[in-house]
Chain A
Amino acid sequence: MSHAIEIRDLARTYRSKRPPRSGGPATVVALDGVSLDVRPGELFGLLGPNGAGKTTLIKVLVTLLLPSSGSARVAGLDVVADARRVRELITMVSGGETSGYGLLTVREQLWMFAQFYGIPGRRARARIDELLEVVGLGEEGDRRVSALSSGMRQKMNLVRGLVPDPEILFLDEPTVGLDVGAAREIRAYIKRWIGEKPNRTILLTTHYMAEADDLCDRVAIIYKGRIIACDTPAALRRRSARGSRFVLTTDPLDPGARLGDLPGVVGTEMRTADGRSELELQLADDGAISGVVRALSEGDRKIYSLQKLEPSLEDVFVEIVGRRMEEADEPPSG
Chain B
Amino acid sequence: MSAGPARAEPVAPRAGDPQAARGFRRALRATLGRSYPRIIGSNRDKSWLFYDTVLPLLGTVSFVYVYKTFGAPERFLAYVIMGGATTAFWMNVMWSMAAQFYWDKQAGNLELYMVAPCGLLPILLGMSLGGLVATTLRAVVIVAAGSLLFGVSYAGGQIPALLLVFAVAMVALYGLGITFASVFLMWGREAWHMANTFMEPVFLLSGFYFPVRALGFWVGLGASLIPLTLALDAMRRLLFPGAHPALLPLAAEVGILAALAVGFAIAAWVSLRKMEMLARREARLSLRF
Is A112 within 8 A of B33, CB to CB?
A: yes
Is A116 within 8 A of B107, CB to CB?
A: no
| A105-126 vs B, Cβ < 8 Å mask (1 yes, 0 no) | 0001001111111111100000
**Which of A39-47, A91-99, A183-191 lines the interface with chain B?**
A91-99
Which of the residues B33, B111, B112 comes within 8 Å of A115, measured between beta carbons? B33
Q: A102 CB to closest chain B CB, in angstroms? A: 9
Is B29 within 8 A of A14, CB to CB?
A: no
Is B26 within 8 A of A118, CB to CB?
A: yes
Is B280 within 8 A of A97, CB to CB?
A: no
Given A108-B36, A117-B117: A103 in contact with B45 (beta carbons within 8 A): yes
Check B1 for interface membership: any CB of A closer than 8 A. Answer: yes
Q: A99 CB to closest chain B CB, in angstroms? A: 4
Q: B119 CB to closest chain A CB, in angstroms? A: 7
**Which of A60-68, A133-141, A255-263, A299-307 lines the interface with chain B?**
A60-68
**Which of A82-90, A232-240, A245-253, A319-327 lines the interface with chain B?**
A82-90
Check A30 for interface membership: any CB of B closer than 8 A. Answer: yes
Check B30 for interface membership: any CB of A closer than 8 A. Answer: yes
Nearest residue (CB) in B for A91 is: B115
- Most chain A beta carbons < 10 A, residue from B1, B6, B25, B112: B112
In the docked arrangement, what's the CA distance between A101 and B96, Å? 14
Q: Which chain B residues lie closer than 8 Å to A150 at the CB level?
A: none
Nearest residue (CB) in B for A115 is: B33
**Which of B55-63, B71-79, B251-259, B281-289 lines the interface with chain A?**
B281-289
- Most chain B beta carbons < 10 A, residue from A62, A63, A65, A84: A65
Check A291 for interface membership: any CB of B closer than 8 A. Answer: no
Chain B interface SS verdict (over half): helix
Q: A153 CB to closest chain B CB, in angstroms? A: 11
Check B114 for interface membership: any CB of A closer than 8 A. Answer: yes
Is B116 within 8 A of A113, CB to CB?
A: yes
| A200-239 vs B, Cβ < 8 Å mask (1 yes, 0 no) | 0000000000000000000000000000000000000000
Given A115-B29, A118-B118: A65 in contact with B112 (beta carbons within 8 A): no
Interface residues on A, range: 35 or more
Is B117 within 8 A of A84, CB to CB?
A: yes
Given A81-B9, A84-B9, A116-B33: A100 in contact with B3 (beta carbons within 8 A): no
Q: Which chain B residues lie closer than 8 Å to A30 at the CB level?
A: 289
Is A64 within 8 A of B40, CB to CB?
A: no
Is B113 within 8 A of A116, CB to CB?
A: yes
Check A27 for interface membership: any CB of B closer than 8 A. Answer: yes
Check B2 for interface membership: any CB of A closer than 8 A. Answer: yes
Is B123 within 8 A of A116, CB to CB?
A: yes
Check B241 for interface membership: any CB of A closer than 8 A. Answer: no
Check A80 for interface membership: any CB of B closer than 8 A. Answer: yes
Is B32 within 8 A of A115, CB to CB?
A: yes
Is A116 within 8 A of B37, CB to CB?
A: no
Check A55 for interface membership: any CB of B closer than 8 A. Answer: yes
| A44-84 vs B, Cβ < 8 Å mask (1 yes, 0 no) | 00000000000110010011111111000000001011111
Nearest residue (CB) in A for B44 is: A103
Q: Which chain B residues lie closer than 8 Å to A62 at the CB level?
A: 115
Given A87-B117, A115-B33, A116-B116: A64 in contact with B285 (beta carbons within 8 A): yes
In the docked arrangement, what's the CA distance between A55 and B286, Å? 11
Q: Which chain B residues lie closer than 8 Å to A82 at the CB level?
A: 9-10
Which of the residues A15, A59, A98 comes within 8 Å of B108, measured between beta carbons? A98
In the docked arrangement, what's the CA distance between A181 and B122, Å? 39
Is A113 within 8 A of B112, CB to CB?
A: yes
- Which residues of chain B from 80 to 127 have a CB within 8 Å of any chain A CB? 107-109, 111-119, 122-123
Is B41 within 8 A of A103, CB to CB?
A: yes
Q: B280 CB to closest chain A CB, in angstroms? A: 5
In the docked arrangement, what's the CA distance between A185 and B6, Å? 40
Check B22 for interface membership: any CB of A closer than 8 A. Answer: yes
Check A104 for interface membership: any CB of B closer than 8 A. Answer: yes
Is A115 within 8 A of B115, CB to CB?
A: no
Nearest residue (CB) in A for B25 is: A118
Check B34 for interface membership: any CB of A closer than 8 A. Answer: yes
Check A35 for interface membership: any CB of B closer than 8 A. Answer: no
Q: Which chain B residues lie closer than 8 Å to A112 at the CB level?
A: 33-34, 36-37
Nearest residue (CB) in A for B3 is: A68
Kindly list 18 other residue pairs between chains A and B, CB separation below 8 angstroms, not including A78-B7, A113-B33, A116-B34.
A12-B3, A13-B1, A14-B289, A30-B289, A59-B111, A64-B285, A66-B277, A68-B4, A82-B9, A92-B115, A103-B41, A103-B44, A108-B40, A113-B112, A114-B33, A116-B30, A116-B113, A116-B123
Closest CB pairs A-B (n = 7): A115-B33, A118-B26, A116-B116, A87-B117, A99-B108, A88-B117, A115-B29
